[in-house]
Amino acid sequence: MTTNIEKRASGLGVEVRADSDKRTLVGYAAKFDRLASIGGYFDEKIAAGAFTDAIKGDIRALVDHDPGRVIGRTKSGTLRLREDGVGLAVEIDIPNTSDGNDLWELVSRQDISGMSFGFRVTKETWDETGATPVRTIEKLELHEVSAVAWPAYEDTTIGLRSLDAARAEGGSASRNAAAAARRVAEKRASLEQKIRGIRQEAS
């Protein structure tokens, strides 16, 4: 079973588009370089290119992240994902099912107006130079996209564990850097002592 799955909701809106006999939901599941507060613990943004490899997989479209409520799939062509200059663009051809028909009606009425996605981070960087840590997601595994009734940022604990790990690595790096600086200072002091000794002998 896949672990460390996080969910992020864009709150960027989802719209209906009807072409002949096909009903399609369109929107963005994420936009690049938009800083978002994650539970008040840290800020987060997604770097351009984060989805490049992720959208090559077999991704499902769901209702409210429920794996039992599939409404589209990239493998079948009923879900189309595209990374453009803005972010992750989503198109879902809505099925003639109870979930599909209900979702179409709810989005048409704007009762549901958000999109979200489930993912696992594979490459990230942290910046703690400011008052609030900033996480930049550079690469991820995309598991699903969802139309959601309650756009919200979830699963902050996974991000916090990632921050703790980054701090631990940073602490180790800081200790290594300090040790290296000490060694350089010791060598410099030793060299200066030798130079002073040579000068004294010469005089």
pLDDT tens digits, one per residue of 138-147 = 999 999 999 8
Kindly tell me if the per-residue pLDDT of 184 is higher than 70.
no
Residue bearing the bigger pLDDT, 150 or 109 = 109
Mean of pLDDT values over 49-63: 95
Buried b (16+ CB within 10 A) or exposed e, 165-200: ebeeeeeeeeeeeeeeeeeeeeeeeeeeeeeeeeee
User: Considering the chain, what is the average pLDDT of its residues?
Assistant: 81
Are 35 and 135 within 8 A, CB to CB? no
Mean of pLDDT values over 84-100: 93
Domain ranges of the chain: 24-163, 171-202
* pLDDT tens column, 110-141: 888 888 899 999 999 999 898 899 999 999 99
Kindly tell me if the per-residue pLDDT of 27 is higher than 80.
yes
Helices (H), the chain: 98-108, 156-202
**Percent of the chain, pLDDT > 70?**
73
Quote the pLDDT of residue 174.
45
Quote the pLDDT of residue 8.
81
Quote the pLDDT of residue 36.
86
Element (H, E) at 128: none
Mean of pLDDT values over 40-50: 92
Cα(88)–Cα(86) distance, integer angstroms: 7
Residue bearing the bigger pLDDT, 170 or 8 = 8
DSSP per residue, 74-124? TTTTSEEEEE-SSEEEEEEE--SSHHHHHHHHHHHTTS--EEEEEEEEEEE
**Percent of the chain, pLDDT > 90?**
42
CA-based nearest residue to 92, from 108, 72, 70, 76: 72
Quote the pLDDT of residue 187.
63
CA atoms within 13 A on the CB side of 14: 36
Quote the pLDDT of residue 172.
47
* pLDDT tens column, 58-87: 999 999 899 999 999 999 999 999 999 999
Residue bearing the bigger pLDDT, 152 or 16 = 16
Quote the pLDDT of residue 112.
83
What are the residues whose beta carbons fall under 8 Å from the beta carbon of 202, sequence distance 6 or more?
none
What are the residues whose beta carbons fall under 8 Å from the beta carbon of 73, sequence distance 6 or more?
58, 59, 60, 61, 79
Quote the pLDDT of residue 55.
96
